[in-house]
Amino acid sequence: MWFLFPLLAGACIWYNYESLEWKTVAFNGLFILFLLASLTVYISFRKKELTAIWKGFFSWGDILFIIAVTPLFETVQYIYFFTFGTILTLMIHLLFARGEGRKTIPYAGYLSLVSVAYLIFTEQINHFFLFLNGSR
């Protein structure tokens, strides 16, 4: 249901409105664009033909979800969120889909669970990110 993604983006903007900087949202969007372009190049290289990643590799729902949540994060936090969220998504999928024989991962669904966990534990997670960056 495509109309949920603009609603989600609006909710993310509303949630983070006081500290939201549009420059940061633009950088996050550029990060996603870079990743999707890199993935397209990689898959096209592997298949030896230009390949659209939304045809069998990454669904439009996944792409729209990762774009919709960009207002929630500063750029470094977004990179951490995307990286750790993707790893956690794979771990959740491996844990819950054992024996099902699924060939696809519901990335946006699992990443939304990670997003909710982030919103609940924001303060603790931010302290962890500061620790990773060497700040106290």
The more confidently predicted of residues 2 and 31 is: 31
Is the pLDDT assigned to residue 128 strictly greater than 70? yes
Global confidence as pTM: 0.79
* pLDDT value, residue 19: 84
Are the C-beta atoms of residues 5 and 55 closer than 8 Å to each other?
A: no
pLDDT digits (tens, 9 = 90+) for 12-55: 889 888 888 889 999 999 999 999 999 999 999 998 999 888 88
Give the number of other CB atoms < 10 A from CB of residue 129: 16
| Residue in this structure with the two tokens 């609603």, named with its chain if needed | 7
